[in-house]
Structure 1
Amino acid sequence: MKKHLLAIALFALCTTGLNAASPKKVTPEKKGVETINRATAEAHIGFLACDELEGREAGWKGGRIAGNYIISCLKQMGIKPLLAGDYIQPFDVYHAERQVKGKRWQVHPDSIAELKKVVHQKLALRNILGKIEGKNPNEIVIIGAHYDHIGYDPMLEGDQIYNGADDNASGVQAVLQVARAFLATGEQPERTVIFAFWDGEEKGLLGSRYFAMNYPDIKKVKGYLNYDMIGRNNREDQPDYFVYFYTAAHQAFGDWLKKDIEDYRLQLSPDYRAWDNPVGGSDNGTFAKLGIPIIWYHTDAHPDYHLPGDETQKINWLKIVDITKASFLAMWKLANEKKY
């Protein structure tokens, strides 16, 4: 009997040692997901939507400070610049003299040439662009969010600053957290990943349009993931709700989200909207017009849209973190799946 008990004890010790020496492997995706958190979201949004940035209007001081902040974050993480050793893609936009009604800011060279013939306005804007190089240099995916908002109005009574916490500091924090998550995986993606922060979206998708017209490798882009307002509740009785737009021809985009919500127990209730021609709404339109498949995360309208009440304390932190996690998982697949 003693020999029998000794054998059982030895077997238990050997088995325990074997299990300890062979822990369950953590996937690269899980390593990335685990870096995404509320504290980081609060830090980024808290800075970008603070009163001192005066609403981050494109071409104004607050917008430039926001761009400089993003560059500092990219440098600190070790994300390389995209263009010729520089994170900044500068460009100028033009507008008719302010008394001319019904005109838009222009970024196309032909439209600019016409405006230069008469009295006109001009703004100097900046896209901020970083990258992680992929194993295959001939394929690229982009994740982007606009970092500008609509500034401030000194003639408003009371709060005069359009802080833009949801629109779109929420999206900027997501791109920054996803960039860090990619690095945390410890693996080089198959495709090159561009991390894009667009300027001038509020004035007519100007930054993404300029990029698409001038980026020499635009035909290598295989997918674009967009954020525009991912931090608020459309209805307070549905805090998990958000809209998930994607190119209808790529049903896998919808399947990915359904599986990731289940696997990672994300507290999200998406409204899946497959879109045959997703050319409107935000910077996704710039890429959809070129036939590039898109994914767009959006929590839908709320009472503070384009008003001074769009402030940090109204963000749904649980939802914004889970959307950021879900989008990292989607972006990881965009960067690595051979077919989608």
Structure 2
Amino acid sequence: MTKFRILFLALICAVCAQIDAASRTQCDAEKKGLATINRASAEATIGFLAADELEGREAGWQGGRIAGQYIASLLQLWGIEPLFDSYFQPFEAYRAERAKPGRLQVHPDSIAVIKAQPVHQKYAMRNVLGKIEGKKKDEIVIVGAHYDHLGYDPMLDGDKIYNGADDNASGVSAVLQIARAFLATGEQPERTVIFAFWDGEEKGLLGSKYFAQVYPDIKKVKGYLNFDMIGRNMDESRPKHVAFMYTEATPAFGEWLKKDVKQYNLQLEPDYRPWDNPVGGSDNATFARLQIPIMWYHTNGHPDYHMPGDEAYKINWEKVVEISKASFLGAWKMANQKF
């Protein structure tokens, strides 16, 4: 064997050893993160956010502000940095006087037209935003869910509170568990990860729209993972069902989930739905319209959708936990791998 061949084989072995070591590190990190995701955390978060005392968390109302403060306090407790000087990103939304048609707006041009009218509505809202700094300063991924819901209606006969346990306290619990799991890995991700809790989604995706139009580094965002309703069963005979929608041009997202379900024996039966332009339904639309690849977990509608009956005791806790685990694995790969 020539010296050249010996050196070549030694180089190949060294490269393979580095790849194996990196793979083991990633696997160990995933296992550490998964170990922190549990039912007790899901029950605590969803139970608080969906409690009657928060009166349905309507954006711009006191219950919504309490919910935002609760989320920010957890991020601070765990040592996750705020994205800006504060965990809160305040913004205002405007609409014409309620007798006139029109939706709440956050775009400056639309606001200028509305404010020119002598009588108009103004809502004060705020997103909650934390981050884990990555090694690459020019690449960002976002994990997000809206925390607002529909509030309460004093004219309802009976239960007057739209508690929003599934919509979307369940999604908020997943983002919080993922944030804590990232910390538990003990590894700095390659890309910066923003943990986003949007306000005003129920009033027209307002929080994510505002963020996208003012965030100076929006062009650095390489991927977005969304949650909206992950805690119920549309079909009670299929308790493990979850719809997994993702950008069709990024097939790695679907391949990751298929591999993780098998490798970690996740108790899920995903319905894989690649979508050429996933703009429907939730805050994922804001990012899909900017050509940012997205993942979106959703367990479909149910009889309590946007009704007072959407309460915590009806949540499928095992499903919430398993989806949180699957999505942590996806988020970890989104933050660390090429796609």
TM-score w.r.t. the length of structure 1 is 0.91
Question: How many Å separate the matches in 2 of 1:317 and 1:70?
Answer: 20
- What CA distance in whole angstroms lies between the structure 2 residues aligned with 1:205 and 1:289? 13
Q: Percent identity at matched positions?
A: 72
1:322 aligns with 2:292: no
Q: State the Cα distance separating 1:163 from its structure 2 match.
A: 0.1
Could you tell me which amino acid in structure 1 is paired with residue 262 of structure 2?
E
**CA offsets 1:108-139 (integer angstroms, 9 cap, x no match):** 00000000011110000000000000000000
- Cα deviations across residues 35-90 of structure 1 (Å, max 9, x unaligned)? 0000000000000000000000000000000000001100111000001x210100
- Paired with 1:317 and 1:89, the residues of 2 have a C-alpha distance of 31
Query: CA separation in 2, counterparts of 1:67 and 1:329?
Result: 26
Displacement, 1:224? 0.2
1:189 aligns with 2:189: yes
How many angstroms does 1:202 deviate by? Answer: 0.2
Question: What is the match of residue 81 of structure 1?
Answer: 82
Give the match's secondary structure for 1:139. Answer: strand
Secondary structure, aligned partner of 1:27: helix
How far apart are residue 280 of structure 1 and its match? 1.2
SS at match of 2:307: coil
- Partner in structure 2 of residue 168 of structure 1: 168
> What is the aligned partner in structure 1 of residue 110 from structure 2?
111
SS in 2 for 1:167: helix
Identify the residue that residue 310 of structure 2 maps to in structure 1.
Answer: 310
Q: Distance in 2 between matches of 1:242 and 1:335?
A: 23
Which position in structure 2 is the counterpart of 1:43?
44
Superposed CA offset, 1:8-36 (max 9, x none): xxxxxxxxxxxxxxxx9871001001100
2: CA distance between counterparts of 1:108 and 1:73?
30
Q: How does 1:3-152 map to 2 (within 5 A)?
A: 27-83=28-84, 85-101=85-101, 103-118=102-117, 119-152=119-152
Q: What is the Cα deviation at residue 229 of structure 1?
A: 0.2
* CA–CA separation in structure 1 for the residues paired with 2:240 and 2:273: 16
Q: TM-score, normalised by structure 2?
A: 0.92
Tell me the residue number matched to 2:275: 275
Structure 1: state its 5+ residue gaps. Answer: 1-23
Q: Distance in 1 between matches of 2:32 and 2:162?
A: 36
Aligned-partner Cα distance in 1 for 2:91–2:250: 33
Deviation, 1:206, is 0.2
| Counterpart AA for 1:216 | P
Aligned to 1:208: 208
Q: Which runs of 5+ in 2 are unaligned?
A: 1-23
1:246 aligned onto 2:250: no
Q: Which amino acid aligns with 2:114?
A: L
How do 1:200-239 and structure 2 match up within 5 A?
200-239=200-239
Q: Distance in 2 between matches of 1:318 and 1:266?
A: 10
The ranges of structure 1 where at least 4 consecutive aligned residues each deviate by more than 3 angstroms after the TM superposition are: none
Name the CA distance, whole Å, in 1 between partners of 2:202 and 2:302.
17
1:242 to partner: Cα distance: 1.1
Q: What corresponds to 1:294 in structure 2?
A: 294
Structure 1 CA distance, aligned partners of 2:105 and 2:49? 26
Instruction: Name 2:18's counterpart in structure 1.
Output: none
State the distance in 1 between where 2:254 and 2:88 align: 33
1:207: Cα distance to partner?
0.2
Q: Structure 2 counterpart of 1:115, which letter?
A: I
One-letter amino acid of the counterpart of residue 45, structure 1: I
The structure that has the greater radius of gyration is 1
SS across alignment from 2:124: strand
CA deviation string 1:129-156 (max 9, x = no partner): 0000000000000000000000000000
| Structure-2 residue corresponding to 1:3 | none
Q: Secondary structure at the match of 1:166?
A: helix
Residue 180 (structure 1) aligned with residue 200 (structure 2): no
* Alignment coverage as a number of residue pairs: 314
2:20 — aligned with what? none
Q: For residue 103 of structure 2, give the secondary structure of its aligned residue in structure 1.
A: coil
Shift of 1:223: 0.1
State the distance in 2 between where 1:242 and 1:181 align. 21
The one-letter code sitting in structure 1 at the alignment partner of 2:222 is K
CA distance in 1, matches of 2:177, 2:53: 23
